[in-house]
Structure 1
Amino acid sequence: MNNPCIICVAITGSLPTKDNNPAVPISISEQIESTHEAFEAGATIAHCHVRDDDGKPTSDPDRFALLKEGLENHCPGMIIQLSTGGRSGSGKERGAMLDLRPDMASISVGSTNFPTRVYENSPDLIDWLALEMRTHGVKPEIEAFDLSHIFQAKLMADRGEIVGTPYVQFVMGVKNSMPVDREVFDFYVKTVKRLFGEDAPWCAAGIGRQQIVLNDWAVSSGGHARTGLEDNVRIDKTTLAPSNAALVKRVADLCVKYERPVATWQQARNILGLRAVKE
């Protein structure tokens, strides 16, 4: 293959703490530094959450604004993707930062079970988040926790609620949700191509020790890959990941193995149909 592979780094998330791994970046300055290292290692999308002064997840738009400004200054051209995830707030609070006009934002278009709770995404909230993204020119990344979410993305695109070809990310390995299963993964890929076209870009994310498995499947199958300390804090069973950059390097090594170039930020923006930025 010679199609470039986009590497997304999920730098912080809502759950990992420094007790889990001291390398998890919590403060805004730590997140900027960690993302810069990951950017230099080959990541071209930064999937971002923010934390409050106690290290707890928040949807505070002021903190997102500080992070966005810092990433734009220190990682010029990198695609900034803000999370509207449910652990950081409730209701419309989850999309309060969308008027910052990031390049992208995550959106879950259906509910699913998580380890100890229901990740609730009501139709009204989904419609509102999608409207905010259209209003502010933000490209959604569809976080698909099961097959129905891919079909929901197709329905939303057909109704004009998602502009352009949806960018779908398969999330596998969350306890009580979709496990890591190769036949299911292959069917996800087949379904995306059938619904959105053979050349439609897609991504995959694996949780915990399954991260490297999904990285391998995605790179070898022509998709794009997500890594980072949000999803996995280890290099292997006994070794903590020293940084987000170290996890990005693992994906870059897979790209070498499967003879795929790592996408530059210019290529990534072109693949995803994002607005250009000055070099």
Structure 2
Amino acid sequence: MKNKVMLTAAVTGAGDTTGINEYVPVTPKEIADSAIESAKAGATVAHIHARDPKTGGISHDIEHYREIVDRIRDSETDVVINITAGGGGDFIPNLDTPAAGGNGTFIQTPTERHNPVGTLLPEMCTLDCGSVNFGDMIYVSPTDWLREHAKLIQQSGVKPELECFDTGHLRFAKQLIDEGLIDGNPMFQFCLGIPWGAEADIETLLYFKNRLPANASWSAFGIGRMQLPIAMQTALLGGNIRVGLEDNLYLTRGVPARNEQLVDKAVGMLHSNGIEVMTPQEARDYYGLLNTRAGATL
């Protein structure tokens, strides 16, 4: 859609951020409420991770996801739901137990990673297209596992967003397409600035964009202070954008943000450049998304 972009609010993520910003949502109700407020502020899509209400850490409990999704769907505010499918890939290196990993290592099979998506059937989900050094840990997503995971997503009818944290991920995502494991026009997301993945700068953005398949749509985000600059550069280049507390905790330097504030700031930035934000229904129609809000079934 000319001069329109899909705006995703990544409302919580899985990082250890709750002690830095008090507005990072933790409980299923808080996460759902934040997604709804982000939609009211103009977000097209809510990207969902679940957290453990007791610890604030990452949760893989499908009942936490179910409560979040049910609360969003039961609300009067429409938003496309995008559930992460990238959980259960954390390997913490430890020289004393190199094969098993250290404390905090948690690896799930493709079937386990897919379970919330396959059960709850959101319109979209992420598919992280490779392993990467992620800070001091390793995110593990081997190619054969990715093929299996892509097939499960394909069978569910949910639209995968092919997440690329480094250049090799783009190469393998295109391999999945060539092997017939991605239906329709593919959707890519470039994840920039993660230590130690691809840089969050215009040169890297253009590198990714210029190597996309001709029929692909794309999105990009930067983390921290690069969130809004990458969002604006992406929109001007014809891509979709993502903001939110998963990637950036501050509204301005030293001022903790709420998700809806980051969305509102992004919407204002887009409007000032003559760019509008897609409604959830426009995104469903344009990208051929399964409309689970309307009770669509497979």
Answer whether TM exceeds 0.5 for this pair. yes
Could you tell me how far 1:87 is from its partner in structure 2? 5.6
Q: May I ask how many residue pairs the two structures share in their alignment?
A: 274
What SS does structure 1 have at the residue aligned with 2:5?
Answer: coil
What SS does structure 2 have at the residue aligned with 1:169?
Answer: strand
Which runs of 5 or more residues in structure 2 are unaligned? 90-105
| Equivalent residue number for residue 121 of structure 1 | 141
What SS does structure 1 have at the residue aligned with 2:200?
Answer: coil
| Equivalent residue number for residue 47 of structure 2 | 47
Which runs of 5 or more residues in structure 1 are unaligned? none
* Cα 1:75–1:131 shift into 2, 3 Å: farther
> Are 1:209 and 2:225 matched, yes or no?
yes
State, as a whole percentage, how many aligned pairs show the same letter.
31
| Equivalent residue number for residue 31 of structure 1 | 31
Q: Which structure has the larger Rg over C-alpha atoms? A: 2
| Equivalent residue number for residue 17 of structure 1 | 17
- Structure-to-structure mapping, 1:223-234, within 5 angstroms: 223-234=239-250
- Structure-to-structure mapping, 1:185-200, within 5 angstroms: 185-192=205-212, 195-197=213-215, 200=216
| Equivalent residue number for residue 192 of structure 2 | 172
Between stretches 170-179 and 89-98, larger displacement belongs to 89-98
Could you tell me how far 1:128 is from its partner in structure 2? 2.1
Could you tell me how far 1:75 is from its partner in structure 2? 5.5
Deviant stretches of 4+, over 6 Å: none
Deviations 1:136-185 (A, max 9, x none): 11111111111222222222112111111211011111111111121121
| Equivalent residue number for residue 286 of structure 2 | 271
Alignment-mate amino acid for residue 114 of structure 1: F
Could you tell me how far 1:14 is from its partner in structure 2? 0.5
> Are 1:97 and 2:113 matched, yes or no?
no
> Are 1:133 and 2:156 matched, yes or no?
no
* Cα 1:75–1:212 shift into 2, 3 Å: farther
Alignment-mate amino acid for residue 64 of structure 1: Y
Could you tell me how far 1:18 is from its partner in structure 2? 2.9
Question: In proportion to residue count, which structure has more helix?
Answer: 1
| Equivalent residue number for residue 67 of structure 1 | 68
Distance 2:286 2:129 in 1: 22
User: Is the Cα–Cα contact under 8 Å of residues 153 and 159 in structure 2 kept in the other structure?
Assistant: yes
Distance 2:261 2:285 in 1: 26
Q: RMSD over aligned Cα, in angstroms?
A: 1.8
Deviations 1:104-160 (A, max 9, x none): 111111111111011111123212211211121111111111122222222211211
| Equivalent residue number for residue 252 of structure 1 | 267
Distance 2:88 2:153 in 1: 20
* Cα 1:50–1:245 shift into 2, 3 Å: same
